[in-house]
Amino acid sequence: MAMAGPERDMDLQPAAAPRGGPAGASGGREPVAAEAQARAAEVGAVVVKGPESSAPTPGSPDAASLPAGSPTQQGAKQGPRRRSLLLVAALALVVVAGVVLGELDPLLATLMVALLVALLFSLPQIPSLPALPEAPPLPPPPAPPVRGDAQAAAVVAALPEPALLLSATGEIITANERFNLAIGTTRVGDPLSFVVRVPEVLDAVRAAAEDGLPRRVEFAERIPLDRWLEAHVVPLRLEAHAGIRSGGRRAADVPDAVLLTFRDLTQQRRVEQMRADFVANASHELRTPLASLSGFIETLQGPARNDAPARERFLAIMAAQARRMSRLIDDLLSLSRIELNAHVRPQTKVDLGGILAHVCDTLSPLARDRGVTLDQVKDAVPLEVLGDRDELIRLFENLVENALKYGAPGKRIEVRLFRENGTAVVSIRDFGPGIPPEHLPRLTERFYRVDVAASRDQGGTGLGLAIVKHIVARHRGRLGIDSVLGEGATFSVRLDALPGPEKNGGQTAA
């Protein structure tokens, strides 16, 4: 028994014969050794055949080229072998189960196992696919706001104007809701240029972050609508960002944040433009009669000095121009007074029926001159509102006078007063040529005229309907204008009525 191990080792040596051993013993072992050597050669051929027949794919590591003993080389050698053994074991279990259950013949099962094993070891080994490259690491989540940022965000959120807090390098720290609604939606960490694309503002922010001086920039936007904005740039130093800035520079005298606020100047610019237009129009309206007066005065002082008929005619024209200037000045003063008190609602109780009767009586001579009948229709029950009597008289005088001037001669003007759902309604309708629809939205603008020549011939100043609009607005009422070409126009004023009986219709008074 002690010689079994050495004898087996010696049999595996192909050419070595035992030294000094008996010849009979050596000759008895040679067939066994030759058979063992042949078996070893067969096994070696089978084992070596697989790797030789499989070419390494590009980019895949070759097990032979890896360092000996490395985990990659061991895995490359042991992985396919382990999978083959597991497959053979699984097939053997299936065959044994078939034999035990009587489903397979033992001899046939043995042949099947041998065939599968031979086929398995004869197929070339399939190289493993190269490993996929690792995905790049996800960016780290944004750092939670420190105390300085949280306090600054609370202050920015409470500002009444669109505001944005930026770092010294121009990244967004926080923005309030007004900024998101008026300028654009922001995201923390984005550059300012993502939402504000105005070079002047971007330059002002960079300069303020460098020198620490506040700046103010005005700019206009044309898309989607025309609007004017003012940007205020204020450099700040926050506790959260104090210390070393980029480049190792101390931030003792350099801001580490910038507060950017915006103010909408659109309404202010429009008011300024309206004021400029008003002054220009008023100057023009005053200059025209003044030039006429100057010309007639020079004529009377020169060639027409002794011409009595020409003198009378020129004096009449001069008087008309003087009255026109007087009306224009009165309208300008009235409009200024109404605008001055526009925020104060009148609180005096007045009777609209009495005011309309007074207006119709005052304008009845003009109606007779034009051959127009004034028909007044009102409720039998008095209808009262809170208002300024003088302003309401001016309001309805302007509307009735316009109807008399621009309505068709020889027809009638209908003035109606009635209560409707707690509202006092006054409508003034003429049966003239009507107003083209494209002019209706601008009728209440200052110095706007549908027909400039006709308006001046009628002695109009271009301010009558503007005064009407402002009086209605001061009384918290509503003005409506309806017109059909060829059928006339209707101007209606609605004011809050004081409590009283609901009654529609009325009786006519000429």
- Domain boundary residue among 235, 264, 293? 264
pLDDT of 459 reads 62
Same domain, 230 and 275: no
Are 255 and 291 part of one and the same domain? Answer: no
Q: For 465-476, give one letter per residue: b (16+ CB within 10 A) or e.
A: bbbbbbbbebbe
Residues of the chain with pLDDT under 70: 1-85, 88, 95, 98-99, 101-104, 109, 116-117, 119-149, 239-253, 380, 452-460, 501-510
Does residue 55 sit within a domain?
no
- How far apart (Å, rounded) are the C-alpha atoms in residues 430 and 372? 10
Do 354 and 500 reside in the same domain of the chain?
yes
CATH number of the CATH domain containing 467: 3.30.565.10
Give the whole-angstrom CA distance, residue 21 versus residue 24.
8
Q: Taking the chain, what is the end-to-end CA distance rounded to the nearest angstrom?
A: 152
Residue 452 covered by a domain = yes
In a domain, 201, yes or no: yes
Look at residue 124 in the predicted model and tell me its pLDDT: 56
Q: How far apart are CA 455 and CA 405, in angstroms?
A: 9
Quote the Cα angle for 67-69-72, to 5°.
70
* 63 domain-assigned: no
Given this model, what pLDDT does residue 469 score? 93
Q: Which pLDDT tens digit goes with each residue over 170-195?
A: 899 999 999 988 888 888 889 999 98
Residues 6+ apart with CB under 8 A from 447: 277, 278, 281, 282, 285, 462, 463, 466
* 356 falls within a domain: yes
Element (H, E) at 107: helix 106-122
Residues 468, 478 contacting (CB under 8 angstroms): no
- Among the candidates 214, 249, 264, a domain finishes at 264
Does the residue 145 lie in any domain? no
Domain of 164 in residue numbering reads as 151-264
- Side-chain-side CA neighbours of residue 173 (13 Å): 30
Same domain, 223 and 244: yes
- Calpha distance 323→298 (Å, rounded): 20
Query: Would you say 182 and 262 are in contact if contact means Cβ atoms under 8 Å apart?
Result: yes
Q: Give the pLDDT score at 206.
A: 92
Residue 135 lies in a domain: no
| Amino acid, single-letter form, for residue 67 | P
Alpha-carbon torsion (38, 40, 46, 49), positive or negative: negative
**CATH code for the domain of 249:** 3.30.450.20
pLDDT at 72: 47
353 and 324 in a common domain: no
Task: Provide DSSP, 305-327.
Answer: TT-HHHHHHHHHHHHHHHHHHHH
Q: Are residues 336 and 222 in the same domain?
A: no
Alpha-carbon gap, residue 355 to 155, rounded angstroms: 56
Return the pLDDT at 470: 92
Residue with tokens 């053997």: 92
324 and 253 housed in the same domain: no
Chain centroid offset of residue 508 CA: 57
List, in order, residues 6 or more apart from 351 with CB less than 8 Å away: 382, 383, 384
Are 238 and 323 contained in the same domain?
Answer: no
3-state secondary structure of 34: helix
* Per-residue pLDDT at 123: 55
| Domain stop point among 264, 297, 319 | 264
Residues 259 and 287 in one domain: no
One domain for residues 319 and 403: no
Among 210, 182, 205, residue whose Cα is nearest residue 193: 205
Residue 20 lies in a domain: no
pLDDT recorded at residue 53: 40
Cα-based distances in Å from 444 to 176, 239, 249, 282, 474: 39, 56, 63, 16, 15
Distance CA 433, CA 413 (A): 13
R_g over Cα of the chain: 53
DSSP reduced 3-state for 274: helix
Residues 175 and 219 in one domain: yes
Question: Are residues 222 and 196 both part of a single domain?
Answer: yes
- Give how many domains the chain has, as a whole number: 4
Instruction: Specify the pLDDT at position 134.
Output: 67
Longest dimension (CA), the chain: 179
Q: What is the pLDDT of residues 61-93, one digit of tens each?
A: 444 444 444 444 444 445 556 666 677 677 777
Tokens encoding 203: 């330059």
